[in-house]
Amino acid sequence: MDEVLARRVPPLDPQVGAAVAAAGERARQVLTPEGLAAWQERDAAARPRPTPDQLRDGGRFEVAELRVPRADGGGEVTLVSGRPAGVGGALPVLYYLHGGGMVSGNAWSVLPRLLRSWALPLGLAVVSVEYRLAPRTRFPGAVEDGYAGLCWVGEHAAALGVDARRLVIGGKSAGGGLAAALALLARDRGGPAPIGQLLLSPMLDDRGGTFSSHQMAGHDTWHRASNATAWQAVLGERYGAADLSPYAAPARATDLSRLPAAYLEVGSAETFRDETVAYADAIWRAGGDAELHVWPGACHGFDTLAPHAAVSQDAHAARTRWLRRILPPA
């Protein structure tokens, strides 16, 4: 990697840059193997975990916690479902996997935003997955949890009041990578057939060899060292293996044909920029349908850090337009 070129970085959007500056060191903490346990403890203490009553928001939403069996018989996966209250019929459903590097985060914390942003205005249901985290559970634990939940939703769609023919899988960061892996897994196992995959700044490639991964080191809010630490936690001794499964790191896939339509987005000033662009290109090369957005001046998590920034508003509007287009009427 040319060190001179790697020092040239795309500028941050001014509003995003102001939000990153205001967040201070908190926005640029680096995850290390030695600090992983403390990172997880801080995340668990700081990340909001609303109760079902809080998620119901005074009766605006119907919320339920569901426990479904894992395929290996080794316990259960928790799903948290929400939908606009009083809306009858079988709703389209967004099956969502949270971010956090596959080492942190939870199914509850993402729901308030998903319910307000999409469930209410689009009239859809949301199912959020509480998958097991690394390093306590390594690959394939998280993706198998996601697949078990996906199959259960497909099989129990009528009881849930959702339409399995109008199902989109999605996620952000680690959740985006898991959603991409689920699309591959469902295709190859003949499982539920989502009509779309919503991949927001997806964590797709364990190898850390892209130009943007080097270019944005020390500049993006998710550092390449943090990314390496997370992948090591997920993969253990399989980290960096030449024959790693694409269900672990979808960028390793050699066949991206016959996948659901994809929406991919990433920031121009983001570690994951090049792997996201490459994944969209690979879908196109395989004859697939992909909509790609590279948001200028956006870093990892830009819309969380600066939700009122114009670029964040544009990104939300583009995601919503794609969901409206991809989800046909009943």
pLDDT digits (tens, 9 = 90+) for 141-177: 999 999 999 999 999 999 999 999 999 999 999 999 9
Render 226-259 in DSSP notation, one character per residue. Answer: HHHHHHHHHHGGGTT-TT--TTT-GGG-S---SP
The pLDDT profile of the chain, 330 residues, written as one tens digit per residue, is: 445 455 699 999 999 999 999 999 888 899 999 999 999 999 999 888 899 999 999 999 999 999 999 988 789 999 999 999 999 899 999 999 999 999 999 999 999 999 999 999 999 999 999 999 999 999 999 999 999 999 999 999 999 999 999 999 999 999 999 999 999 999 999 999 999 999 999 999 999 999 999 999 999 999 999 999 999 999 999 999 999 999 999 999 999 999 999 999 999 999 999 999 999 999 999 999 999 999 999 999 999 999 999 999 999 999 999 999 999 887
Say how far apart CA 32 and CA 227 lie, in whole Å: 9
32-70 b/e with 16+ CB inside 10 Å = b?
eeeebeebbeebeeeeeeeeeeebbbeebbbbeebebeb
Say how far apart CA 121 and CA 148 lie, in whole Å: 28
Say how far apart CA 329 and CA 317 lie, in whole Å: 20
User: Which tokens is 260 given?
Assistant: 């659901």
Say how far apart CA 268 and CA 18 lie, in whole Å: 17
**Strand, helix or coil at 164?**
strand
Instruction: Identify any residues that bridge with 78 across adjacent strands, giving them in sequence order.
Output: 67, 130
